[in-house]
């Protein structure tokens, strides 16, 4: 069949070598097949079972063991060493896994929900205080292995840091308190706000979830171990820790850490020209000042082009306000490229 397909492609104008490469074959292989009667695949495989294959009785012994009340809640990685401590060896961990797989028993058996690989739901922000992203990052303390914890909430539409706190520990109570204080300071009703976070303990703690449910907040979470599902907070922390003034030494105290973060937040919200929002500050976009700023820039550029039109090859720079912002956008089907 492959030879006939190759011949058909060559008859239609294709070159032999590219046609063979598409199928992962070499020209010499096709030439050899043409010289011999290939027919069906005459490989018979091994005629005898491997000498180290477990007997059916041994497989049943492993299945009975892993399904026993003593071991049914443990993985093979836990079962095999325990058996060795008892002076028993039935097989390696890989052997246990292979037997379980062959009998369709290698599945999630705990009462907890299995890890989900489904992408988080897409959320769209068309204005301020619609979708917030938050996370916690470490700040070094004077004691090795002990950290201060920075809680930070960002509005993804304006990129404004709307709330932050630094604490000596991580807890859902601190997170819930920060959210309530942020809404109170901004004077907004939190009902309907999308609040996105990763899967950390403080993010999914009972106090935090109960607070969000009571306030009518839409809780959104990243997939386990997928940092790209929370890109806005990750990018914000990177901006913070790559600032030239970020301390190269640990913070001497909790008060010093809070003072430094307060200065960073003031700079970020009021001075930092953010590239994703047409180089206006987060405060300018959040409070509706971006239109006037960008319109003024547009007038400056148009005036410069009228003064020296020979220096402009096309349109001026795009100074229209940035549009809506998507959190975890869904993957749309794209048209396949025409490779002919």
Say if 74 falls within a structural domain: yes
pLDDT of residue 337: 39
- Total number of domains constituting the chain: 3
Of the three residues 252, 271, 290, the one that is the final residue of a domain is 271
Which whole number is the average pLDDT over 44-55?
77
Closest among 122, 133, 209 to 173, alpha carbons compared: 209
- Residue 128, pLDDT above cutoff 60: yes
Same-domain status, 62 and 177: no
pLDDT higher than 80, residue 41? no
Q: Say which CATH number the domain at 204 has.
A: 3.30.420.10
Q: Are 151 and 182 in contact (CB under 8 A)?
A: no
pLDDT tens for 289-332 read 999 999 999 999 999 989 888 888 888 889 999 999 998 887 66
Per the structure, the complete domain to which residue 243 belongs is given by 123-271
Residues 94 and 203 placed together within one structural domain of the fold: no
Task: Give pLDDT, residue 33.
Answer: 82
Give 32 or 126, the one with higher predicted confidence. Answer: 126
CB 232 within 8 A of CB 327: yes
C-alpha 66/C-alpha 75 separation (Å) is: 8
178 falls within a domain: yes
Q: Is residue 331 part of a domain?
A: no
Specify whether 28 is located in the same domain as 61.
no
Same domain, 174 and 260: yes
Rounded Cα distance, 269 and 264, in Å: 9
Percent of the chain residues topping a pLDDT of 70: 89
pLDDT above 70 for 71: yes
Q: Which of 271, 301, 317 is the last residue of a domain?
A: 271
Rounded mean pLDDT, 212-220 = 90
22 and 127 share a domain?
no
Q: 23 with 131, same domain? A: no
Confidence of residue 116 (pLDDT cuts 50, 70, 90): low
- For residue 234, CA distances in Å to 97, 239, 240, 255 come to 37, 9, 10, 24
What is the pLDDT, as a whole number, of residue 247? 93
91 lies in a domain?
A: yes
Least confident of 20-24, 63-67, 119-123, 244-248: 119-123
Q: Please choose, from the candidates 216, 260, 211, the residue with its C-alpha nearest in 3D space to the C-alpha of residue 240.
A: 260
Q: Which of 254, 271, 288 is the last residue of a domain?
A: 271
How far does Cα 166 stand from its chain's mean position? 25
Same domain, 86 and 204: no
> What dihedral do alpha carbons 103, 107, 110, 114 form, nearest 10°?
-170
Residue 38 has pLDDT above 60, yes or no: no
Q: Output the pTM of the full model.
A: 0.64
- Same domain, residue pair 258 and 135: yes
Q: What is the pLDDT of residues 230-287, one digit of tens each?
A: 889 999 999 999 999 999 999 999 999 999 999 999 999 999 999 999 999 999 999 9
- Residue 147 domain-assigned (yes or no): yes
pLDDT digits (tens, 9 = 90+) for 92-111: 889 999 999 998 888 765 55
Mean pLDDT of the chain, nearest integer: 87
Q: Is residue 335, in this structure, part of any structural domain at all? A: no
Same-domain check for residues 144 and 258:
yes
Least confident of 16-20, 89-93, 204-208, 216-220: 204-208
Task: Render pLDDT for 189-214 as a digit per residue (tens, 0 to 9).
Answer: 999 999 998 877 888 888 888 988 89
**Closest alpha carbon to 155 in 183, 172, 133:** 133
Please report the pLDDT score of residue 340 as a whole number: 36
- For 151-175, what is the mean pLDDT? 95
Indicate whether 316 belongs to any domain: no
The verdict on 196 and 95 lying in the same domain is: no
Asked if residue 242 and residue 150 are part of one domain, the reply reads: yes
Which two tokens mark 98? Answer: 């292979």
- 181 domain residue, yes or no: yes
* Cα R_g (the chain), whole angstroms: 31
Pair (19, 80) in one structural domain: no
- pLDDT of 54: 87
């Amino acid at each position: 069949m492959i030879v006939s397909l190759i011949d058909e492609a060559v008859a239609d104008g294709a070159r032999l070598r590219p046609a063979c490469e598409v199928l992962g074959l070499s020209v010499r292989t096709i030439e050899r097949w043409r010289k011999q009667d290939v027919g069906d695949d005459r490989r018979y495989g091994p005629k005898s079972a491997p000498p180290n294959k477990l007997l059916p009785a041994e497989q049943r012994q492993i299945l009975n063991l892993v399904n026993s009340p003593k071991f049914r809640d443990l993985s093979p990685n836990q079962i095999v060493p325990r058996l060795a401590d008892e002076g028993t060896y039935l097989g390696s961990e890989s052997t246990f896994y292979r037997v379980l797989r062959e009998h369709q028993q290698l599945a999630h058996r705990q009462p907890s929900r299995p890890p989900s690989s489904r992408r988080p739901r897409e959320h769209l922000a068309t204005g301020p205080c619609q979708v917030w992203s938050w996370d916690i990052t470490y700040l070094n303390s004077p004691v090795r292995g002990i950290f201060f914890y920075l809680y930070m909430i960002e509005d993804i539409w304006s990129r404004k840091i709307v709330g932050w706190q630094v604490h000596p520990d991580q807890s859902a109570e601190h997170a819930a308190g920060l959210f309530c204080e942020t809404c109170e300071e901004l004077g907004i009703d939190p009902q309907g706000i999308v609040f996105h976070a990763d899967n950390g303990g403080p993010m999914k703690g009972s106090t935090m979830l109960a607070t969000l449910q009571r306030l009518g907040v839409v809780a959104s979470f990243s997939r386990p171990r997928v940092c790209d599902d929370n890109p806005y907070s990750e990018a914000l922390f990177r901006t913070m820790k790559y600032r030239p003034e970020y301390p190269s030494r640990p913070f001497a105290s909790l008060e010093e850490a809070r003072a430094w973060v307060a200065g960073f937040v003031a700079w970020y919200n009021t001075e930092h020209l953010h590239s994703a929002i047409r180089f206006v500050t987060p405060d300018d976009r959040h409070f509706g000042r971006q239109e006037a700023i960008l319109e003024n820039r547009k007038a400056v550029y148009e005036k410069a082009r009228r003064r020296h039109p020979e220096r402009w090859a096309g349109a001026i720079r795009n100074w229209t306000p940035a549009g809506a912002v998507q959190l975890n956008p869904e993957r749309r089907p794209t048209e396949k490229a025409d490779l002919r």
